Amino acid sequence: MRPTLSWTPAPDLPPGTTDPRPVADALGAGGVLVLSGAGLSTESGIPDYRGEGGSLSRHTPMTYQDFTGDAQARRRYWARSHLGWRTFGRARPNAGHRAVAAFGRHGLLTGVITQNVDGLHQAAGSEGVVELHGSLDRVVCLSCGTFSPRRDLARRLHEANPGFDPVAAGINPDGDADLTDEQVGDFRVVPCTVCGGILKPDVVFFGESVPPQRVEHCRELVRAATTLLVLGSSLTVMSGLRFVRQAAQAGTPVLIVNRDPTRGDRYAATRVALPLGTALTTVADRLGLPVDGGSTAR
């Protein structure tokens, strides 16, 4: 499966609003489930896929089939990802992440599902976050299933590739840096220390399925919520859209905060067309909640 590169909004979609009061009202009543996407992390310096200047305009993410079936594709991936991790790992939570953490601390949320792999919700202090697509800070062996910290792999790759320090043209939402084949050169990939197998970041690649038990857990969270609040996701792919459809079919209100139209707008009660940091900080102020608490450790 190739990634969905674009989505064309239908002309009859309801317009967005710049009034965040519906979001504040829903959060004030409690029972809100957050579903977040790449747009929430753009203010932390991590680009999204499909927004203005999104990475898909210049970059096609690695697919599971290419990664597992082509050693050269793995070499390119790990070279690019190793370089990208240095920048990606330095990203810090922004006002939007801190606001979500504040909502959680004050008992307004039933949970957070994120499509992001950057760990910034947890770094801001949110607890019990469901990482729908996994996390870049873990690595898994495809042969023996052993998990290990990404920082350990980063150290091993650094030792195996002394002097590897090309200048990337950009960084992508999956932590992949933009490098040419010439820059990748003869980058050395290291194997699993347990069995010698192929290592892969513990993230769901395009062409790979989200584990069924994780999907069902998310469906349970949707069933238990009184409102589904979508933050910074275009909902282009079914991975997140299915939960919006589930909520709408059950009569659970769906609210979306995203500057651009989304594939879920027709299921939503409203879409707030504001930057995430601005909108969520305004909502937190309306509710009288400070947004500067929580951890910033990575």
Active site residues: 133
Tell me whether residue 159 is annotated as binding.
no
The radius of gyration computed from the CA coordinates of the chain, to the nearest angstrom, equals 19
Angle between helices 276-286 and 95-105 (to 10 degrees): 30
Tell me whether residue 227 is annotated as binding.
no
The number of beta carbons lying within 10 Å of the beta carbon of residue 55 is: 22
The torsion region of residue 70 among left (phi > 0), alpha (psi -120 to 50) and beta comes to beta
Tell me whether residue 218 is annotated as binding.
no
Closest CA to 152 of 82, 62, 72: 82
Tell me whether residue 40 is annotated as binding.
yes
Tell me whether residue 298 is annotated as binding.
no
**Stretch (H or E) spanning 130:** strand 129-131
The number of beta carbons lying within 10 Å of the beta carbon of residue 206 is: 19
At 248, list the tokens: 């709408």
Tell me whether residue 216 is annotated as binding.
no
Q: What is the DSSP letter of 40?
A: G
Tell me whether residue 143 is annotated as binding.
no
Tell me whether residue 69 is annotated as binding.
no
Tell me whether residue 183 is annotated as binding.
no
Tell me whether residue 36 is annotated as binding.
no
The torsion region of residue 125 among left (phi > 0), alpha (psi -120 to 50) and beta comes to left
Tell me whether residue 89 is annotated as binding.
no
Task: Give the residue numbers of the binding site.
Answer: 37-57, 115-118, 141, 144, 192, 195, 232-234, 276
Binding residues for NAD(+), by number, are: 37-57, 115-118, 232-234, 276
